[in-house]
Amino acid sequence: MANSKYEYVKTFEQSTTLLPDTYMTVRIDGRGFHKLSAKYKFEKPNDRHALELMNAAATAMMKELPDIDCAYGESDEFSFIFDRSSRLFERRESKILTTVVSTFTSYYIHLWSDFFADKPLSPPMPTFDGRVVLYPSSSTLRDYMSWRQVDCHINNLYNTTFWALVQNGGMDATQAEERLKGTMASEKNEILFCEFKMNYNNEADMFKKGSIIYRDCDTSSSDSQEAHAPAVFNSEQSEMSKTAKKKERRRRAQASITIEHTDIIRNEFWDQRPWLLSGPSQ
């Protein structure tokens, strides 16, 4: 930008740099998706096409941003977990948040016709908001991911029971809400089984557990280990470190991206994929 008497206005700009050596997590949520789902007549309690569209947009996002290790999605939300050592945009919060939200929204709209060919979009268009949260350790990050999956289960069990009462039980929405008020999970399961012959365990895992999308790459190589190592200040070592980071970024961009609908609360998923938690546990 050329110098001018107006350049002083730059002093009003604010920039927040996110703490280093933490897991940057960006969670996006659909705005007004209750109205959107009604407008396009999404199936209740779950619309498989709508969920697969969310997964496709998240996968495209991860291809665009190799610094994202994994993502977890349910309903109209997705959480994107960045590699702990990421220096994307020098860790400037506004740049990271706006890039994630705008990129996801763009792909959601772009891919819409692949899943809803007979329901063309019209204004107002789907939009998302987002927030950035930093987690200092792999244990707190795992607690966050567990929280989101528990939320998925609680919401899905409620919605499955609610819509069974409305669609097959002769109740309206108000009556169904009243019937479910204060009920425990066991009681909802009993309603489904005894009144509608539905075994909740047989519901699709994508509905019950959400979607975990991850970059299927191992960080055991020497280049990868060097790329994740603490910064050094010797100029020759620093140049080698930059080279390793470039190789690591290229390797991550080329890694396959996998979608699963599985338990991420227990240790098994993470133990089998240690590269997703390449950071301190405490």
Binding positions for Mg(2+) are 29-30, 76
Closest by Cα among 211, 250, 224 to 66: 250
CA distance 248 to 226: 9
- Per the annotation, where are the binding residues? 29-34, 75-76
For residue 153, count other CB atoms closer than 10 A to its CB: 17
Beta bridge partners of residue 28, listed in sequence order: 78, 130
Amino acid at 205: D
CA distance 175 to 177: 5
Closest by Cα among 92, 108, 8, 17 to 58: 108
DSSP state of 231: P
- Per the annotation, where are the binding residues for GTP? 29-34, 75-76
DSSP state of 126: P
Angle between the N-to-C axes of helices 185-196 and 138-168, in degrees from 0 to 180, rounded to the nearest 10: 30
